[in-house]
Amino acid sequence: MSKGGWSCPKFVDDECAILKRACNPGDKGCILYGKALFSSSDSPSNEAFEKRMERKMKRLLKDKDVDG
Ligand code: SF4
């Protein structure tokens, strides 16, 4: 993936060096999986991202309870 202002370091010779196939940002195994929310609602990353944010919020709330 090399569109816009960011180029993925794993995009080599027109394919994903991790997945060994065409780049599909947000797929399982992609470095963006679970780290970004994609405008395409069927991106597998979106559900993983939501779960990750939920866990993060729970941790923050738990830490806040302990602190104060
Ligand atoms: S699938 Fe993800 S990790 Fe692989 S080249 Fe594309 S953006 Fe990079």
Task: Verify whether ligand 1 is closer than 6 Å to residue 37 (CB atom).
Answer: no
Instruction: For residues 15 and 29, give the distance between their C-alpha atoms in angstroms, rounded to a whole number.
Output: 13
Q: How far is the CA of 35 from the centre of ligand 1 (A)?
A: 12
Q: Say what the pTM is.
A: 0.80
**Do 28 and 16 touch, CB atoms closer than 8 A?**
no
pLDDT at res. 1: 58
Strand, helix or coil at 9? coil
pLDDT reported for residue 64: 83
Q: Which atom of ligand 1 is nearest to the CA of 26?
A: 2
Q: Ligand 1 pocket, 36 CB below 6 A?
A: no
Ligand 1 centroid distance, CA of 55 (Å): 24
68 residues of the chain, pLDDT tens digit each: 555 688 999 999 999 999 999 999 999 999 999 999 999 999 999 999 999 999 999 999 998 887 66
pLDDT of 65: 80
DSSP state of 52: H
Q: Which residues pair with 16 in a beta bridge?
A: 11, 21
